[in-house]
């Protein structure tokens, strides 16, 4: 028995040291493992924080670069654009003002000339009218001498006129018929084009026959039209030109000329068929009484 107790005691003393290193190793291993895991976690957090910081820095840098690049671009609606707009607006208003001023001046000249003729023989020759050389709608040359011995009504317009010219020519045609019916006076209606570029003799021929059988259409070169328009104090100007499509603004006046092709009176747009008819008859009768 003593021998067995000794052996057992010896085995216990010998086996205790062998277990302690194992336990120590296990405890240390766990400690080292948890320390390493904590260190790894800290490193990951630091790396993540650093990545986020770098990302924010990159975005900030990109934003700065974008702002820098945008700063070099021209801003729409800046001072230069407004200045150009104002200059264009001022130019347009200046053209409109000049256009209206010229139109009023020509109308005033016509009115003054008409008054000067009516004041008496001391006024001399009429300031409206004069010699001209044009081509009629039958391609024959015509001058003012071809109308001597006839009472004549002259209207200036153009065949592409959308509304005013047709209205005025219809009024003229109706008045010519009514004057003959009421007073037995023959009036020769004449249409002179202020658009020589488009109003050829063929174009004028097709145009005048739509209004009256006796309406005579006249056209000519640009210089010839300028000359006759100047003689009759007629204002005309191209407007809204786009390629070959444009309008011509012009004086809306009918001129009554006596058998000597001297100016008697003009009738404006405000005259209707009846007032035009009565006005022409009145002027012709007064002229006949004076003779």
Rounded to 5 degrees, what angle do the CA atoms 183, 184, 190 make?
100
* DSSP assignment letter at 101: H
Q: Cβ distance 201 to 243 under 8 Å?
A: no
What's phi and psi for 68, nearest 5 deg? -65, -40
Measuring CA to CA, which residue among 186, 153, 169 is closest to residue 255? 153
Q: How far apart are CA 26 and CA 69, in angstroms?
A: 63
275 CB-near residues (< 8 Å, 6+ apart): 267
Would you say 28 is a known binding-site residue?
Answer: no
Q: Cβ distance 262 to 278 under 8 Å?
A: no
Would you say 161 is a known binding-site residue?
Answer: yes
**Neighbour order of strands in the sheet with 216-219:** 141-143, 133-136, 216-219, 187-193, 151-157, 253-257, 263-268
Residue 40 burial class via C-beta count within 10 angstroms: exposed 0-12, middle 13-18, buried 19 and up: exposed
Q: How far apart are CA 256 and CA 147, in angstroms?
A: 12
Would you say 106 is a known binding-site residue?
Answer: no
Q: How far is CA 225 from CA 4, 76, 168, 197, in A?
A: 153, 48, 20, 11
Measuring CA to CA, which residue among 274, 132, 104, 114 is closest to residue 190? 132
> Which residue numbers belong to the known binding site?
161, 165, 250
> Which residue numbers belong to the known binding site for Cu cation?
161, 165, 250
């Amino acid at each position: 028995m003593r021998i067995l107790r000794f052996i057992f005691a010896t085995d216990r003393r010998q086996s205790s040291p062998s277990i302690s290193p194992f336990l120590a190793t296990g405890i240390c291993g766990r400690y080292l493992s948890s320390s390493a895991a904590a260190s790894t976690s800290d490193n990951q957090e630091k790396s993540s924080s650093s990545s986020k910081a770098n990302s924010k820095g990159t975005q900030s840098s990109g934003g700065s670069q974008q702002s820098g690049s945008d700063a070099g671009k021209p801003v729409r609606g800046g001072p230069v654009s407004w200045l150009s707009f104002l200059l264009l607006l001022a130019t347009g208003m200046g053209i409109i003002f000049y256009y209206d001023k010229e139109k009023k001046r020509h109308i005033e000249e016509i009115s003054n000339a008409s008054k000067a003729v009516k004041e008496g023989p001391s006024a001399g020759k009429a300031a409206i009218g004069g010699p001209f050389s044009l081509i009629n709608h039958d391609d024959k040359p015509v001058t003012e001498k071809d109308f001597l011995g006839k009472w004549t009504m002259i209207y200036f317009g153009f065949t592409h006129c959308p509304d005013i010219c047709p209205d005025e020519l219809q009024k003229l045609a109706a008045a010519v018929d009514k004057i003959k019916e009421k007073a037995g006076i023959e009036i020769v209606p004449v249409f002179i084009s202020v658009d020589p570029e488009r109003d050829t003799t063929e174009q004028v021929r097709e145009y005048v026959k739509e209004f009256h059988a006796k309406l005579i259409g006249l056209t000519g070169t640009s210089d010839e039209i300028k000359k006759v328009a100047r003689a009759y104090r007629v204002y005309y100007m191209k407007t809204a030109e786009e390629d070959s499509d444009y309008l011509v603004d012009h004086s809306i006046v009918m001129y009554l000329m006596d058998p000597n092709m001297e100016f008697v009176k003009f009738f404006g747009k405000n005259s209707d068929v009846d007032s035009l008819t009565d006005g022409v008859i009145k002027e012709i009768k007064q002229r006949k009484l004076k003779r």
